[in-house]
Structure 1
């Protein structure tokens, strides 16, 4: 996911996307604790996606 993909979305869409990514991050952390996660780089990708979405939300609120 790139920032240009999400910068044109509405605030409601961004909030829904943020919820989905936070749930995904929770699931990945649970898999990591139970030794079921094979690709640990997915954690970093999910965290970066959350940061991009939060940046877009801040930009939308500033308008």
Structure 2
């Protein structure tokens, strides 16, 4: 997901998306600890998406 796509969403949609991504990150970390995660790059990608969403939320609140 690109940052440009996130800028177009409302604050409520961004908060819901952030909640979903944080749950996904939690699940990925649990899989990593139990040695079930084969593609560890998913963790980095999920963290990056969370950061992009948080940036979009901050920008939306500033406007």
Contiguous gaps of at least 5 residues in structure 2 = none
Alignment-derived partner of residue 19 in structure 1: 19
TM-score normalized by structure 2? 0.99
Across the two proteins, how many residue pairs are aligned to each other?
Answer: 63
TM-score normalized by structure 1? 0.99
Please list the CA deviations of residues 15-51 of structure 1 after superposition, one character each: whole Å capped at 9, or x if unmatched: 0000000000000000000000000000000000000
Q: CA deviation at 1:5?
A: 1.2
Alignment-derived partner of residue 39 in structure 1: 39
- Structure 1 residue runs of 4 or more that deviate by more than 6 Å after TM superposition: none
Contiguous gaps of at least 5 residues in structure 1 = none
RMSD value, Cα: 0.3
